[in-house]
Structure 1
Amino acid sequence: MITLAIALGSFILYFVAYHTYGKWLGEKVFRLDSKARVPSIELEDGSDYVPTHKNIVFGHHFTSIAGTGPIVGPALAVMWGWLPALLWVLFGSIFIGALHDFGSLIISMRNRGQTVGDIAGRVITPRVRMLFLLILALALTIVLAIFGLVIAAVFKQYPQAVTPCLIQIPLAAVIGLLIHRKGGKILIPSLIALGLMYLSVTFADTPFLHQFNTTLASQSIMTWVSALLVYSYVASVLPVWTLLQPRDYINSLQLLSALALLLVGLVVAGFFGGAPVSGIRPPLEIAAPAVESNFTAKNLPLIFPFLFVTIACGAVSGFHCLVSSGTSSKQLRCETDAKMVGFGSMLTEGFLAVLVILACVAGLGLGVSSQGGTLLGAEAWQTRYADWGSTQGLAAKVSAFVDGSANFLKALGISATFATTLMGVFVASFAATTLDSACRLQRYVIQEIAATMVRHQPTTAPHTGIKITANPISWLCHKHGATLFAIAIAWWMASLPAAPGKPAGTGGLILWPLFGATNQLLGGLAFLVILFWMRQQKMPIWFVVPPAIFMLILPIWAMGYQIFVAAIGSNQSWIDKQQWLLVSIGLSAIALELWMIAEAVLGWKSQRAADPITPQTVEQS
């Protein structure tokens, strides 16, 4: 019954945290005002700044921040033991992650919807703005490259998930158009769309759909990556109400329904056992050790700091500050809605990560097929978690969650095919929402960088007085140019081979070790901005300082170790090992972070009193 106790206790803990710590932050620290004028109304443009009901923004925000992060990270980190992973998820999400997301959303709303990177240049030093934007561009390029590969890999592993994921796109576009033109509530149309998606899951094994899914899934990795990036381009340049909001809302309903099924399945398995194996329902028990006693035997890296960067989403993720300040802050129609969207979404993601942990350490024990038979308990666990090297592949991480959670559903009497397909769709759908949101965010970042460079270019050539009539990068200031540039760089990075002679698309995953560290690095830098802004506003900051220090030290430690020990620290040349991209990006990120920290130290004592945010000050920043 310990599995049930963990699930129930986690839910109660998050519920209490939302109504105590979250309430204190909203009412006493940030002093949210329901009558305050928000960017979505002040700057409404029908495209990016759109006043939207909090339930819809919550759906967009949550599905954008979740992705596969809270699935892949916890599914791998349980190798150190389920207890360290669980504790980091529970307390990290409440005291670090939720504070980070909530704070990023608030400072963006009170700065006319600007991104955290833009705000950094005003509250720390002007140079910091460009440094932060460059780090954001670096991190988002990795996200775009990797998540395109992630979705392609999921489709190849679970072909039956292709149709349910594809059908969401036209359904979301139709819903967005109808709601925008005729008004009305989005709930009923989205429920219908969700039902149609579930029907496609139900009939995934019919001859036509099976052939259709298999044919599409058989396409090369780079064919899928190219198609997904083209989709991301379209989703990025369209108004948010056209595709982004309705698709994310449908996915949020999918998440809630899947979570409900998982919880009910977990309860049934806890009281009655899992789906029958040889006529007997196996008991729901944790098959993994609470703390791994022999890290060396499984070739595990150092638990400190790697546990804290392996689980990024689910505990704390710097990518969330981009969603909070890049899209969500431009859609909230009321300041008090920020608590539900910023703080509540992170706690929901934390609870998802808890269920992932339970699916991997207990759900797998309910049965794993092996050589025509079924393994149970610790034997089932060992088939997926025998060695760190064998679990680092994307397929192993995803399948551990999919099979474990499908076992919860099978305890309800749901067929194995439907349960497995539904969980595969769950993973692919959330990766896709992260991909299109990341593309839109990267567009914003590139536009800001280009606009800054164009604005600061001299209008006449030095020493000649000849007027400069054209700027070679001015095309990046426009949304189409910036988006095309973003997906072109991501496509190139994703297309790299793992080694000479290997197929295109295999080398992009060498960046996965940097994904978690870069993610946490963004979180630490966002905390710096939050810290400076709150100090400027005369708010208490004592509870922000420890998370900020923690999040600045751990990522650079993990990234440095990954580069100098894992990538370079061997007799074989890191160029021969095809690690040059990992090393160059990692070193660039470390250099930019150290520079930004130095700027922050210099700017701490000289920080000026807060100036009111006006259109003029925003334009000058």
Structure 2
Amino acid sequence: MNSLILAAGTAVLYVLAYNTYGRFLAKKLFQVNLNTPCPSKTHHDGVDFVKTDKLVLFGHHFTSIAGTGPIVGPAIAVIWGWVPALIWILVGSILMGAVHDFGSMIISLRNQGRSIGDIAGDVINARVRFLFLLIIFFALWLVVAIFGVVIAAVFNLFPESVAPVWLQIPIAIALGWFVYKKNANPVLFGAIAVLLMYGSMMLGSKLAFEIPELFGIKSMGVWVIGLLIYAYIASTLPVQILLQPRDYINAWQLAVAMIMLFAGIAVSHPAMVAPALNAAPEGAPPLMPILFITVACGAISGFHCLVSSGTTSKQCDNEGSAISIGYGGMLLEGLLAVFVLIACGAGIGLGLMKGDELLTGSAAFTHQYSSWAAAKGLGSKIGAFINGATNMISATGIPKEFILTVMGVFVASFAATTLDTATRIQRYIVSEIATACKVPFLAKRHPATFIAVATALLLAFSSGSDGQGALSLWPLFGAVNQLLAGLAFLVMTVWLAKTGRRIIYTLIPMIFMVAVTGWAMVYNLNTFFASGDWLLFGIGTAVVLLETWMVVEGAMVLIRLNKMRNT
């Protein structure tokens, strides 16, 4: 299969999906109303609720939901063959992921910008609200701790990315100041900021930075501490000072990176050397259902409902912006996931070094993906994408040294964006839980943020001074993340039923996500039990019980509503 046909065909399909199914959902199902005041106006506070230009907010939203998810997921899912991964990315993003993100945002816009977990109390009942908030807290606890490790790992793998990533902070603050204080044109000044970013990348490619051990804490641990301190500061500042402009710059970065990737695909147009289907790779779990929790953000991700209803809805200027930000943002992420699939399944075949030997074609792919153990490591995932992308982009004449820096900064910047946003959302969740438990002091901005960061720090250092303790719970993350998506669909479905609208468009995705996640959780629990990993088994069992409780409560409400409608 020629990779150029694959990339171009995906882009055309997404344009068609946006202008047909996306617009249908906006008009008929969610009934978008351009005249409905948004929370950014009715609840404006200058910190979290801030009316934002649609283009700027799209950048913030997209870079928050993307992170490294659409990179690491497809980069490992290709081990089962590029066809099943591609099918799930396309079907999942169009019919499930984009609906999930768009619907979560609309419901939040109609409910004072509250999170989907908080809204569950109004839609279903107070018990479900508390259960959902607990599941969200656990998921974000993992996200904040793990993404600190992810960024630290990228810094260690690509030290050339360190200087550009940190220099992005003053560049973003300056951009925010010019746009909000001086009414500067965001497009013009965004372009200037990106040029400065690429200047810093050129500097970074010549000035690699490696942090030493400090006070007995290993370099990874030092990075994790620094990143969590940064996350605390960034998540408590008004969004327009750092979070929005940084994400806006990252959106430009994404546009440039995707243009470079497409140009590289167009010039090199390598054939897919990954097998179309490889149902039983050595040591790998079964394709069904593990594929669906591995691709994650490239098709659908529960974390997205937290961004859509946690931060984006608080900044949206108009309900009409929700379709391009919510539905369109997910389709763009799906396109990125396909580009990653091509980089790992085709670009890597253009050349991979094995010691002093240059491997090409299927031999290069087979070496990279020789077994599940070889492919599943964080370094292997990121390395497969960056090596494949570099091979393709270098065909355009851009030096490989610079491309490696650009791709390293791209991955680290997106992970940092997710860390920023996840910490801010965790602060909201802690506040909502504290309010429910009648502890108002902990609901305030700084105490809630301290809890969010401190708990992540404790998890990160639970294994020692390397700061990688969160990785011990990583096997649960994929299933819990997709579980959130199923539960968000549950809330959406009940909300639609209560407002007298057709529920089929969210009911089918809800049933699928709950079923496939439950299947994956049962598989994981059997694995944990067989290996004697009682921590993962205990937490996983608790999550399954909470999920079951929520689904039963939601189903009872749907049955009751259906009876009322038929009487």
TM-score, structure 1 as length reference = 0.88
What aligned pairs does 1:21-170 form with structure 2 within 5 A after superposition? 21-170=21-170
Structure 1 partner of 2:282: 298
Identical positions, percent: 48
What aligned pairs does 1:188-587 form with structure 2 within 5 A after superposition? 188-206=188-206, 209-210=207-208, 213-215=209-211, 220-270=219-269, 284-292=270-278, 295=280, 298-454=282-438, 473-497=439-463, 503-564=465-526, 566-570=527-531, 573-574=532-533, 580=535, 582-587=536-541
Aligned length: 561
CA contact (8 A) 2:497 2:561 kept: no
Q: Deviations over 1:282-331 (max 9, x none)?
A: xx2211100015x1x51121111100000110100000000000011111
Residue 602 in 1 paired to residue 552 in 2?
no
Q: Deviations over 1:69-111 (max 9, x none)?
A: 0000000000000000000001100000001001000000011
CA contact (8 A) 1:38 1:333 kept: yes
CA contact (8 A) 1:124 1:604 kept: no
Q: Deviations over 1:373-419 (max 9, x none)?
A: 32111111122100001111100000000100111111011111111
- The one-letter amino acid of 2:350's match is L
Distance of aligned partners of 1:67 and 1:609 in 2 relative to their CA distance in 1, 3 Å threshold = farther
RMSD, matched Cα: 1.7
Q: Deviations over 1:491-549 (max 9, x none)?
A: 1111122xxxx753233212222111111000000000000111111111112211100
What secondary structure is seen at the aligned counterpart in 1 of 2:353?
strand
CA contact (8 A) 1:248 1:433 kept: yes
Partner Cα separation in structure 2 for residue 143 and residue 430 of structure 1: 13
After TM superposition, give the deviation of residue 421 of structure 1 in Å.
1.2
Structure 2 partner of 1:588: 542
Q: Deviations over 1:573-592 (max 9, x none)?
A: 425xxxx2x23332221121
- Structure 2: which 5+ runs fail to align? none
Q: Deviations over 1:233-258 (max 9, x none)?
A: 11111111011100000000000011
- The one-letter amino acid of 2:414's match is F
- The one-letter amino acid of 2:224's match is V
Q: Deviations over 1:29-63 (max 9, x none)?
A: 21212111111111111111111111111000000
Relative to its length, the structure with more helix (as a share) is 2
What secondary structure is seen at the aligned counterpart in 1 of 2:128?
helix
CA contact (8 A) 1:162 1:216 kept: no
CA contact (8 A) 2:56 2:244 kept: yes
Partner Cα separation in structure 1 for residue 253 and residue 452 of structure 2: 29
After TM superposition, give the deviation of residue 217 of structure 1 in Å.
10
What secondary structure is seen at the aligned counterpart in 1 of 2:533?
coil
CA contact (8 A) 2:160 2:405 kept: yes
**Greater CA drift, 445-454 or 598-607:** 598-607
- The one-letter amino acid of 1:337's match is S
Distance of aligned partners of 1:239 and 1:535 in 2 relative to their CA distance in 1, 3 Å threshold = same
CA contact (8 A) 2:120 2:129 kept: yes
Distance of aligned partners of 1:231 and 1:609 in 2 relative to their CA distance in 1, 3 Å threshold = farther
Distance of aligned partners of 1:557 and 1:335 in 2 relative to their CA distance in 1, 3 Å threshold = same
- Structure 1: which 5+ runs fail to align? 271-283, 455-472, 611-621
- The one-letter amino acid of 1:137's match is F
What secondary structure is seen at the aligned counterpart in 2 of 1:70?
helix
After TM superposition, give the deviation of residue 166 of structure 1 in Å.
0.7
**Greater CA drift, 343-352 or 545-554:** 545-554
**Greater CA drift, 132-141 or 595-604:** 595-604
Partner Cα separation in structure 1 for residue 197 and residue 366 of structure 2: 34
CA contact (8 A) 1:124 1:607 kept: no
Q: Deviations over 1:228-279 (max 9, x none)?
A: 1111111111111011100000000000011001101110102xxxxxxxxx
- The one-letter amino acid of 1:224's match is W
Distance of aligned partners of 1:329 and 1:609 in 2 relative to their CA distance in 1, 3 Å threshold = farther
Distance of aligned partners of 1:92 and 1:608 in 2 relative to their CA distance in 1, 3 Å threshold = closer
Distance of aligned partners of 1:574 and 1:155 in 2 relative to their CA distance in 1, 3 Å threshold = same
